[in-house]
Amino acid sequence: MNAADTLVEVLRSEGLRVLATLARTVGDLAVAEDALSEATITALDAWPRTGIPDNPRAWLAVVARHKALDLLRRESARSAKETAAFRWGTEAAPDQIEEAIEAMEPETSLPDDMLRLIFTCCHPALGREAQVALSLRTLARLEVPAIARAFLVPETTMAKRLVRARSKIATARIPYAIPSDAELPGRLAAVLAVVYLIATEAHAPTGGGAVARIDLEAEAIRLARLLAGLMPDEPETLSLLALLLLTSARTSARTSADGNPVTLADQDRTRWNRAAIAEGSVWLSEAVNRSGGVAGSYQIQAHLAAAHSTAPSWQETDWDRIIGLYDLLGSITANPVVALNRAIAVTERDGPEAGLAVLKTIVGLEYSHLWHAALADNLRRLGRTSDAAGELHTAVTLAPSQAEQRLLQDRLRAVRSELR
């Protein structure tokens, strides 16, 4: 890591900590964000000259507090009624908030403050798009242009999405609080779903030509690490981190030299990241130890990823175990994609006749290129080449990205050449 990277990393990780406490003290996420942004700009200007301070968090906290005070003083010049509408919970007068900021002790309840911030950004009264945008901006501390690029939307669209989300937090009074024990499972599930969605977006970009955007995957892992650190007793939190690490281990093998996607069956397993597999496996066993024998959905998915990661080859994969895990997963989430992946495993274990029969029982994937591609694979293995070509043709038209279209077109060409 060079000096500039170190500086950015310190600003991101410490910035989040400063923000979490400042948001509670100020009672307004937008003001806290603006104050931290200004403090970050000051740091970016000062630190390259002075070097990173011994205690960068304290430095940032002090500067951000001053910026927040300036912002609040400017704001209190606006009408009192307008100001009152933009406060969380407490009806504190501006001078009371000033006192609170002056007396702010950044370290006392930092983990709780970070949890509050996480649960606020992923509150279910915010739509998934808003949750994802806030998680990447507020929690992962990414800049708006970078988030906009990652999601292939114009910068102004992403900026508006963030403004609306912060405005709803303030106006509708989404609480800056850790959910009660009764609410926690559902609320934690929403947080984990956001992180999982960010990781999935990294693997399946729609529309664009690139196969994978490493940065979103890294951001999802970063967020998952944050959650695992803050909630080490929640097994699904640890399982999600395990799953993301195990999946990320295959990222560099997922793309061929010419930029085309490579399926799991064809990947060069020597290119898998062994360190990530090892770390993911450690987190998975930690999750198993804490789950009291009841595996959640992320834990099962992590077991599936681990089963593939430890197989010497596609042919030598433990398909019994994979099918068993898909059965378990299917019993807790009725998801046709799970059924599809199970059917692919059945083909490998019991042959194309059995695989095809299982595939045909799946309802709800008529518009999925993956289902048609799987049908084609079984048909081709059964020698029904013309039927296979028909299914592949459908799959090409349904493929959501250019990269996947190219992969399926290559297969279609190969099948058609068998026809002649």
Partner 1 sequence: MTQYVALLYYDRNQYWDSPPEREFHSEYMEFARRATEAGVMRGGEALHPVTMSTTITVSGGKGGDVLLVDGPYAEAKEVLGGYFLLEAADLDEAIAWAAQNPGAWRGKIELRPIAPIHA
**Which residues would be at the binding site for partner 1 (CB under 8 A)?**
124-127, 130, 164, 167-168, 171-172, 186
Contact 253, 203 (CB under 8 A): no
Pick 36 or 130: Cβ nearer partner 1: 130
Select 236 or 377, whichever has its Cβ closest to partner 1.
Answer: 236
Shortest Cβ distance from residue 147 to partner 1 (Å)? 18
What is the rounded distance in angstroms from the CA atom of residue 118 to the CA atom of residue 50? 33
Cα separation of 415 and 394, whole Å?
A: 14
Nearest distance from C-beta of residue 127 to partner 1, angstroms: 4
Nearer to partner 1, 6 or 171 (CB): 171
Rounded CA-CA distance 337/257 in Å is 29
Q: Output the smallest distance, CB 167 to partner 1, in A.
A: 7
Nearer to partner 1, 118 or 130 (CB): 130
In the complex, least distance from residue 28 CB atom to partner 1, rounded to whole angstroms: 16
How far is it, in rounded angstroms, from Cα 48 to Cα 50?
A: 6
In the bound state with partner 1, the residue whose beta carbon lies nearer, of 101 and 194, is: 194
- Tell me how far, at minimum, the Cβ of 329 lies from partner 1, in Å: 21
Q: How far is CA 220 from the centre of its chain?
A: 4
Structure tokens at 92: 């504190």
Under 8 Å between Cβ of 31 and 88: no
Nearer to partner 1, 127 or 364 (CB): 127
Q: How far is the CB of 12 from partner 1 (least distance, A)?
A: 27
Residues 6+ apart with CB under 8 A from 124: 186, 187, 190
Pick the closer one to partner 1 by CB: 168 or 393: 168
Q: CB-based contacts of 415: which residues, under 8 Å, 6+ apart?
A: 376, 380, 385, 388, 389, 392
Minimum CB–partner distance for residue 27 and partner 1 (Å): 18
Q: Which of 347, 400, 402, 336 is nearest to 375 (CA)?
A: 347
Q: What angle is formed at CA 202 by the lines to CA 199 and CA 207, rounded to 5 degrees?
A: 140
